[in-house]
Structure 1
Amino acid sequence: MILKNLKLFLLSRLSNRILRHSQLLQKKQDMNLKKDVENVLYYKQWIIQKTNNTFDNTRVLGIVATAKGAEKFLPYTIPKILEQVSQIGMMADIVIGLNNGFECPSVIDRFTLLPNVQVIHLHTDEKLANNIPAKIFDNLMCAGKPYLLSNIVCPFSQHRIFVVHQKEGLHAAGKIRVLGDIYCSLLLNSIENGWIPPAILFTFDAESQFLIEPEYPFLDLDSNGLELIISYLNRHPQIDIISARNRFAVYQKSMEDGIEILLPDFSQEIPPIQLFLDLMHGRHNGFRWMQGGGTFGRTDVLISLLVVVAQFYPGIRVEDTQLTILAKYAGFIYEVLLDVISLNRTPSPNEVTMDKPPKQVWIEQVSRWSCGHYALELCYGKHNISTITSGKIPLSIFTELVNFLKRLKGKDKLNLYTIFHKLRVLISAFLIGRLINKNSLKHPDILQGREAKACW
């Protein structure tokens, strides 16, 4: 009896200790979130004051970070985006960040040949730390005063492309690092010195294409998804941020004006987890993040969010998910526009790495996302982010099971083979996803400090 009571006493003490630890951890996570939200709101108010709440409605601002491999996409995607912007009677300012010494001179030279386009080369000086934005200049020697954006446009140029050559360095590697230079240095400094930015800003990836897909997976390849998103934002002034729905595709080699590029091949099957994410994104809790390959919003809102993410989290690799978390708790109104997709490249199910033993590339892709999402869970707490990113199958999928199965069927004919194959794909996604999530618990991304790495 004494031993039994002692055992109950010890278990009770242990349980209380675990509970207190959990409560303290949640309190710390809530404080992390509160501090970041306060910083976001500070920067938003600062931008409003500096611009006198005045923005340029004739232009749209697009920002992309690029690294090795982007030269296979940009020759097609940049002209396509400029064409779509022109179709809606607007002008574009496109900022291309070349990360950590990456260069693609032949691609950039082609942009100078585009009609009504002015190309402006900018250069960063050395990045002193992973969370300190480098200064940006209009000359390779980084001499004189830092460059400032202006509202004066060359009379014969409709669009402007700003190419930011980020100097290679110890602290430069990673998409978020060059985005930090662009948002924290170029954009904020220009606003402080009188630049009136476009009213709408959008983020995209090198391979992003914006197309209309009213019913999965039937894409209108000649459509202008960018126009639909911008018109939706203009018609709904209460909305702060809107994301295109994600659509993965395997890319294949093609030719564009005599150079080799990569274009989506919709006849190829995509990996199981990527397929599941396509079916879920924007439709269910836990899958409602704004995706970095196609997020549009009010410029003051998106700049304030991305400045905080880049400045305080130099190790983040899923900045779009973190952006969504901060947007929610800052009180911004956001949604996913289901009719518009942004194309996102994924490896084929059979593609492997050069490692020994070789690894499946698509699993490595999902593992990176999982490690990033778990890092955010540690930072902000599962209780704060589960409605945005959870990785679990939501119960709501069963309340609209018929629609989900229709999307799963896609263009395939409905027969026993199709049902068996699709079920096998779903089961595979579930089992592999559990293994990936289990491994990510051991290796979460380090978001802050000297050990933070944002590249792979």
Structure 2
Amino acid sequence: MLLTNLKVLVTSTLSSSILEERVPVREKQDINLKKDVENVLCYKAWIRNKTNNTFDNTRILGIVACAKGAEKFLPYTIPKIIQQVSEIGMMADIVIGLNNGFECPAVIDRFTLLPNVQVIHLYTAEKLANNIPSKIFDNLMCEGKPYSLSNFVYPDYQHRIFIVHQKEGVYAAGKIRVLGDIYSSLLLNSIDNGWIPPVILFTFDAESQFLIEQNYPFLDLDSNGLKLIISQLNEHSKIDIISTRNRFAVYEKTIIDGTEILLPDFSQEIPPIQLFLDLMHGRHNGFLWMQGGGTFGRTDALISLLVVIAQTYPGIRVEDTHLSILAKYAGFIYEILLDVVSINKTPSPTDITMDKPPKKAWIEQVSRWNAGAYALELCYGKHNISAITSGKVSLSILREPVKFLKRLKGKDKLNLYTIFHKTKVLASAFFISQKIARNSLDKPDILQGNEAKACW
């Protein structure tokens, strides 16, 4: 079996016997990175060998992990993505992983009413450990042979939606856990059984929308950003991965076809750190991670990266940043397409959590990212990851101050009040980010072992 043959490749790099205490920390970090990169390239070579380097160029494969709350986004985003795929003359295979027993039957029922769409239900067996992928079956009892994807599509259906119901369990909680089941037990095993995957795979979030934004912050709300990204990949065969740029938005309730959903409200102010990240992402060193809410690439590259991450680091919560680091050192050619954004939900500046005592929700969101990024710094070393994620203000801003100030101004008129207000916002972002960074030093995410937790 595939997983048996490759098991030796995906081992705990941090607990390896070669990492004795006498080895300098920096050398340990370099060894961690080297080992993970070797595993990624090994999986990629295996996929190319199994498929004879042949991929399906008529379909595109999308993967999303969902938990409670996703039901407020999926009724809009999934049909929209399928529409955008149709507009470019392709067919979609969308895999929706329902994490740790989460269910949204009313949403799935709506999918069955979509024209030319087949909905297929799949079920995971019990997860035996946090880094072991669960087998996936086409029946609730998880009996018989594990399910394999097929290149056969019924004539009445152009698109397929696969609903992966992950069984609730001690080791299942967390986005990376259901992604591990999908990428290993579904995709890799299907390839092992003869499935020819689509040439392009993309990752997205439940709330992701792909829009064109060629003049920040003015969005073309009727645009097809997915089409522009796919055309870039098709026209530049040497590019392995393309990411959208991030665009944060506060989401508000609305009713569509009698269903309450959440949609972005671009008129609302977003928190200061999230605003700063929007201005920096994709443009400056230290802010060059690929966006998990919209990363498109060659299927063999993305499967290889995410299989290694999920099986080796079951505590990761920033798998997009992790993917970016490994992609860079694996030699994959990637870029962030500045003209296309994926919309990312953020709390409003006034939202608070249900914690006791209550906390500002947007600060908690940034704290999660920092805890994940610092864990990667401990694993691979600041010297290896700072170009991708550093959180520090890049001096490259000084090379184009006018462009940065125009982006900072946004839709506001340029006057003394605007300058004062925006400067105040940036100062707030700086001081709060410093405090969050200090806190993350005490509580970095635990990436491996029994204490690794991938949910919040």
TM range (shorter): over 0.9
Match of 1:31 in 2: 31
Structure 1 ranges of 4+ moved more than 6 A: none
Structure 1: distance between partners of 2:184 and 2:169? 18
Q: What SS is found at the alignment partner of 2:357?
A: coil
Q: Deviations over 1:16-48 (max 9, x none)?
A: xxxxx9970000000000000000000000000
User: Which digits, 9 at most, give the CA deviation of each residue in 1:54-91, with x for residues without a partner?
Assistant: 00000000000000000000000000000000000000
1:379-408 deviation digits (Å, cap 9, x = unpaired): 000000000000100110111111000000
Distance in 1 separating the partners of 2:112 and 2:214? 35
Task: From the CA coordinates, give the structure whose radius of gyration is larger.
Answer: 1
Residue equivalent to 1:69: 69
SS at match of 2:58: strand
Query: Tell me, what secondary structure is at the counterpart of 1:441?
Result: helix
- Aligned equivalent of 2:439: 439
Q: Secondary structure at the match of 2:260?
A: strand
Q: How does 1:95-110 map to 2 (within 5 A)?
A: 95-110=95-110
Q: Deviations over 1:388-431 (max 9, x none)?
A: 00010011011111100000000000111100000000000000
Q: Secondary structure at the match of 2:243?
A: strand
Unaligned stretches of 5+ in structure 1? 1-20
CA spacing shift, 1:386–1:23, aligned 2, 3 Å = farther
Distance in 1 between the 2:182 and 2:111 partners? 20
Deviation at 1:312, TM superposition (A): 0.3
TM-score (norm 1): 0.95
Equivalent position SS for 1:417: helix
1:353 positional shift: 1.2
> Cα offset for 1:256?
1.2
Q: 1:11 corresponds to which residue?
A: none
Q: Deviations over 1:336-366 (max 9, x none)?
A: 0000000000000000112232100000000
Partner of 1:340: 340
| 2:154 counterpart SS class | coil
Match of residue 165 from structure 2? 165
Give 3-state SS (helix, strand or coil) of 2:442's partner. Answer: coil
Letter in 1 for 2:289: W
Distance 2:70 2:257 in 1: 17
SS state of the match for residue 261, structure 1? strand
1:144 paired with 2:167, answer no
Alignment of 1:242-321 (within 5 A): 242-321=242-321
TM-score, with structure 2 as normaliser: 0.95
Partner of residue 410, structure 1:
410
Deviations 1:204-244 (A, max 9, x none): 00000000000110000000000000000000001000000
Root-mean-square deviation (Å): 1.0
2:118 alignment partner AA: Q
One-letter amino acid of the structure 2 residue matched with residue 87 of structure 1: E
How many pairs are equivalent? 437
The equivalent residue for 1:115 is 115
Q: Which residue does 1:361 correspond to in 2? A: 361
* Change in 2 beyond 3 A, CA 1:22/1:397: farther
* Residue matched to 2:133: 133
Q: Distance in 2 between matches of 1:257 and 1:132?
A: 41
Summarize the alignment of residues 30-49 of structure 1 with structure 2, pairs less than 5 Å apart: 30-49=30-49
- Aligned residue for 2:455, secondary structure, equals coil
Distance 1:44 1:91 in 2: 24
- Report sequence identity in percent: 81
**CA separation of 1:366 and 1:22: change in aligned 2, threshold 3 A:** farther
Give the Cα–Cα distance (whole angstroms) in 1 for the partners of residues 356 and 151 of structure 2.
Answer: 53
Q: d(CA) in 2 for partners of 1:423 and 1:57?
A: 48
The secondary structure found in structure 1 opposite 2:24 is helix
Name the SS for the 2:252 alignment partner. Answer: strand
AA matched with 1:362: W
1:250-306 deviation line (CA, Å, top 9, x unaligned): 000001110100000001000000000000000011000001000000000000000
**Structure 1 CA distance for aligned equivalents of residues 22 and 392 of structure 2:** 22
Alignment-derived partner of residue 374 in structure 1: 374
CA distance in 2, matches of 1:22, 1:214: 52
Query: Match of 2:153, as an amino acid?
Result: V
**Deviation for aligned residue 1:152:** 0.2
Residue of structure 2 equivalent to 1:54: 54
Kindly provide the CA deviation profile for residues 300-341 of structure 1, in whole angstroms up to 9, marking residues without a partner as x: 000000000001000000000000000000000011000000
Alignment-mate amino acid for residue 106 of structure 1: A
Task: Give the C-alpha shift of residue 97 in structure 1.
Answer: 0.1
2:179 corresponds to which letter in structure 1?
A: L
